[in-house]
A and B are shown apart, each in its own frame.
Chain A
C-alpha cells in the first residue's frame, strides 16, 4: 500500500473509531436522549462500512448502498419511537436519568 492512497482499510478503521465513540456514549452517559444520539453515531459507522465495501469490493452491484438506505430508514424510525418512549417516561417519572429507570429491577 502506498503511503498516499486511501483504501478500504482507512474507511474500516475510521468506522471502528466512530463505532467505539458511539459505544462509549451508550455505555457511559446518564441522559436517555444522549444514548439515543450515540446509537445514531454507531449506525453511521455501519453505513460508512457498507458504502466502503460497496465501492471497493462490489463496485457495480450497489448492494451496500441499498443496505445503507435501509439502515437510514430504520434509524429514522428508531429515533421517532425512542423519543416518543422517552417523552412518555418523562411524563411518568419527571426525569430522563437512566440510573433512575428501575421498574424492571427486582
Chain B
C-alpha cells in the first residue's frame, strides 16, 4: 500500500492520461493523430512504471515503445496511406457488438480483481533494480534471453523479406 499523497496524485493523473489517450487512439478518425496519442499513452505508462519502482523498465518503455514502435508505425502509415487522411481510421459494422463484449470484459475483470484477496507481501522493492534484473537475465533466465535475441533476428530478416521490393 502506497499512501503518500504524491504517489496517490501521480497514480490518478497518470491513469487519467493513459485512459484518455488510449480512448483517443481508438476514437480519432485520422490514424496519424492516433499514433501521436499512442506515444503520449506510452510515455504516461513509463511514468506509471516509475510509481511501481521499475525505473529500468520505464527507460525501456520510452526507448522501445515511444521511440522505436511509434516511429515504425508512422513509417508504415506513410508507405500505405493515400488520399484523404481524415477518413483513415474508421469503425467497421460490428462496433455495437464489440462495445458490448468489451463492457462485459472490463466489468468482469474489474469486479473479479476487486473481490480477490491478494496475498501482498508488503516488503519494499530493492533499490538496485538494474543489477538484480541483469543477474537474473544472465544466470537463471539466460536461455529465454538468448531465445529473445534469436526471435528479434528472425523477425528482422522476415520483415526485410516480406517488405522487400519485388523486382521482375
Instruction: Using CB atoms and an 8 Å cutoff, list the residues of chain A in contact with chain B.
Output: 1-2, 4-14, 16-25, 27-31, 33-34, 36-38, 40-41, 44, 47-48, 51-52, 54-60, 62-63, 65-66, 68-70, 72-81, 83-88, 90-91, 96, 98-99
Contact = CB atoms under 8 A, between A and B. Distances in A.
Contacts of A90: 79-80
B1 A80 contact: no
Given A23-B102, A62-B129, A30 B110 contact: no
Nearest to B137: A66
Given A4-B3, A65-B54, A23 B101 contact: yes
Q: Tell me the dominant secondary structure on chain A's binding face.
A: helix
Given A55-B125, A62-B133, 19 more contacts: A4-B5, A7-B118, A8-B118, A13-B110, A20-B102, A29-B92, A31-B31, A33-B76, A33-B80, A34-B89, A40-B69, A44-B45, A47-B57, A62-B132, A68-B57, A72-B64, A87-B163, A91-B166, A99-B92
A16 B69 CA distance: 23
A76 B68 contact: yes
B91 to A, nearest CB: 5
A82 to B, nearest CB: 9
B80 A12 contact: no
12 contacts: A11-B52, A21-B25, A22-B22, A24-B26, A28-B94, A28-B99, A29-B91, A41-B22, A48-B45, A58-B121, A73-B152, A84-B162
Interface residues of B, number: 91
B133 A66 contact: yes
Given A37-B35, A99-B92, A21 B162 contact: no
A63 B110 CA distance: 24
